[in-house]
Chain A
Amino acid sequence: MNNQISVELSPYAEVVQGFKKGTMKSSKVEISESKKKIFEEAAKAWKEYLATPEGKVLETDISKSDLNGVRQKISGILNSGAFKLLKELLEQTGLDAGSFSIGLNIEAELIIGIAATIGLAIGVGDNKGLASSEFITVALDEGIDEGALVGVQFGLWTNSPSCLGGYAWATEADGGVVGELAGKIVYKGEDDDDLLGVTVEVGIGEEDGIDEQECYTFIIGSQSGAGDGFLKPAYQPVKSNFLIIKSVTCNNTQSDGVGNANEVYFKFQADGEGKSYYYPTYDYMSMQDGDVWYCGRSVWFNSSVQVGLFDSDSIGNDSDPIGNFTINLSNLTLNSIKTFTSTVNYNSGLDHVDYTIQVELVATNVSSR
């Protein structure tokens, strides 16, 4: 069980909700001998890697990792001696592929089941030496375990590493890709029959039996600087108690030298654990003296919630704190709104900063969603 990575995958999972099922894509494709050799060697190397001291603890490591931890783990895997021959094969000239990828398949249960592949792609063939990219591919699945590692995926793609993003169809390859290796043929888009690539998957434990999958790939980072970057989660696992930050009141803005308004957003963390959530999840709300922002963001917590209020002079920069609020369960009464004032004084010289937040405790002792 890995709640943290499930939460971090949740914003990527949002896109799969509009997915449809079924397609008429061909499930047979000719695979060149050089590609077959790469897939065979990749699968062999993966088994060797799992037998190394590092490989033996991979599953446990992933079960404790956050998304960043998984990314770092993937970068390290190819450095294992087990992949030496595979890397030599990928170095060959004239290879009929644009990129090669290795990704860890992780399943998450977020009301709907999600299959995610968190991976790294490198340029091969004519694209050798091009910038590598990191990606997250998400698809609908009947998730079996929260944040569980279920296998590895190797891919050979027609595109360069930074051009693997977007919508695609994956169809189970008839009779496997190479021998008994389970594989998928991936097509770019619903209307475009262009082949995007071929993948093989080596499972840890239960095999994935999905025949067809609509999926979406996010490029989350690349050496070339392109990519969507990380998406922020809004989904929160259930805890015992539930409150709503009903509103933020601006009694006096911070004078930031940029107009009369503050560009307000807040972040919160429940019970001093896990990552912080933002509201708005992106961007901000412009506020001036006397404004009330009826934000209405709800929060699951056990005993306390820490809320930081910020003036976003540059988006995503927490550099201008304008309020800090500590909400303890003991301060709240069920179905009653309480106003909190900042526990930190952000006044500076003649600049008087005054924001309050209004909080309602809505439910207590909740057992599950």
Chain B
Amino acid sequence: MNKHSITITSITCHGTSESGHDEVYLICQSDAGLPIRIPASINTNHPMEKGDTWSINQTLNYDYEVLVTLWDEDLSYDPNLATYLQSIDFAAGTLGLGSGVIQLTNRNGANYSVSYNLLK
């Protein structure tokens, strides 16, 4: 049983890293373990442009921290060709229980807010 659980409830796009859409997927890695891909199926992503909200509702369990990385999948499945957008490190003890929002930006124009609910 892990000590902590957090639900990534949704992601809202306020700006993309390229013209048109970002083809967004997440890699979530708890305690440096085996990463989980969201969406789980290979060759899938969630196209997002300014104003879009992606409802995720994925709960992640961890003891020390979970690192959530946002990627833009430019071509068919090959992570070597993916574009790094930004990341959030949900570390134990750094957030209060309940809901919150974290904003992520990069110098290529990506601007996303990630909504979460820290369960324990």
A residues adjacent to B (C-beta < 8 A)? 10-11, 13-15, 17-18, 110-112, 167, 216, 228-229, 231-232, 234-236, 242, 244, 246, 261, 280-288, 291, 294-300, 316, 335, 360, 362-363, 369
Return A20 CB to nearest CB of chain B, in Å: 9
Q: A111-B33, A216-B42, A234-B35 are in contact. Are A284 and B80 (CB under 8 A)?
A: no
Closest 10 A-B residue pairs measured CB to CB?
A296-B89, A18-B40, A283-B84, A280-B84, A286-B107, A18-B41, A236-B32, A298-B32, A235-B34, A15-B42
Q: At the interface, yes or no: B19 with Cβ under 8 Å from chain A? A: no
The stretch among B8-16, B61-69, B111-119 that forms the contact with chain A is B61-69
Q: Which residues of A contact B84 (CB under 8 A)?
A: 280, 282-285
Q: How far is the CA of A351 from the CA of B65 in the complex (A)?
A: 37
A-B contact pairs, 15 of them (CB 8 A): A14-B35, A18-B37, A112-B34, A216-B42, A228-B77, A235-B32, A244-B65, A281-B27, A282-B81, A286-B106, A295-B87, A298-B29, A298-B64, A316-B80, A369-B31
Given contact pairs A236-B33, A296-B87, enumerate 4 new A-B contacts (beta carbons under 8 Å): A228-B80, A235-B29, A242-B31, A362-B64
Q: How far is the CA of A207 from the CA of B27 in the complex (A)?
A: 34
Task: Please give me the residue from chain A that is nearest to B90 by CB atom.
Answer: A296
Q: At the interface, yes or no: B97 with Cβ under 8 Å from chain A? A: no
Q: Which residues of B contact A167 (CB under 8 A)?
A: 42
Identify the interface centre among A14, A286, A335: most chain B CB within 10 Å of its CB. Answer: A14
Q: Which residues of B contact A232 (CB under 8 A)?
A: 79
Return B6 CB to nearest CB of chain A, in Å: 14
**Are A246 and B89 in contact, CB atoms less than 8 angstroms apart?**
yes
Return A131 CB to nearest CB of chain B, in Å: 19
Identify the interface centre among A13, A283, A287, A294: most chain B CB within 10 Å of its CB. Answer: A283
Digit string of B19-33 for contact with A (CB within 8 Å is 1, else 0)?
A: 000000001010111
B interface residues, how many (CB within 8 angstroms): 36
Return A260 CB to nearest CB of chain B, in Å: 9
Q: Which residues of B contact A111 (CB under 8 A)?
A: 33-34
**Are B83 and A300 in contact, CB atoms less than 8 angstroms apart?**
no
**Are B89 and A14 in contact, CB atoms less than 8 angstroms apart?**
no
**Are B79 and A294 in contact, CB atoms less than 8 angstroms apart?**
no
Digit string of B30-53 for contact with A (CB within 8 Å is 1, else 0)?
A: 011111110111100000000000
Q: A13-B34, A234-B29, A235-B35 are in contact. Are A298 and B67 (CB under 8 A)?
A: yes
**Are A288 and B107 in contact, CB atoms less than 8 angstroms apart?**
yes
Q: At the interface, yes or no: B95 with Cβ under 8 Å from chain A? A: no
Of residues 90 through 115 on chain B, the ones whose CB sits less than 8 Å from some CB of chain A are: 91-93, 106-108
Q: Which residues of A contact B81 (CB under 8 A)?
A: 282
Return A278 CB to nearest CB of chain B, in Å: 11
**Are B32 and A242 in contact, CB atoms less than 8 angstroms apart?**
yes
Q: Which residues of A contact B82 (CB under 8 A)?
A: 282-283
**Are A299 and B32 in contact, CB atoms less than 8 angstroms apart?**
yes
Task: Please give me the residue from chain B that is nearest to A362 by CB atom.
Answer: B64
Return B81 CB to nearest CB of chain A, in Å: 8
Pick the contact of B89 from A281, A287, A294, A300 — CB < 8 Å?
A294
Q: Which residues of A contact B78 (CB under 8 A)?
A: 228-229
Task: Please give me the residue from chain B that is nearest to A299 by CB atom.
Answer: B32
Task: Please give me the residue from chain B that is nearest to A247 by CB atom.
Answer: B89
Q: At the interface, yes or no: B56 with Cβ under 8 Å from chain A? A: no
**Are A296 and B65 in contact, CB atoms less than 8 angstroms apart?**
yes
**Are A261 and B37 in contact, CB atoms less than 8 angstroms apart?**
no
Task: Please give me the residue from chain B that is nearest to A283 by CB atom.
Answer: B84
Q: Which residues of B contact A287 (CB under 8 A)?
A: 107
Q: How far is the CA of A68 from the CA of B34 in the complex (A)?
A: 21
Q: A15-B42, A17-B36, A235-B35 are in contact. Are A296 and B88 (CB under 8 A)?
A: yes
Q: Which residues of A contact B41 (CB under 8 A)?
A: 18
Task: Please give me the residue from chain A that is nearest to B72 by CB atom.
Answer: A283
Q: How far is the CA of A17 from the CA of B29 in the complex (A)?
A: 13
Q: Which residues of B contact A15 (CB under 8 A)?
A: 37, 42, 77
Return A15 CB to nearest CB of chain B, in Å: 5
Q: How far is the CA of A312 from the CA of B78 in the complex (A)?
A: 19
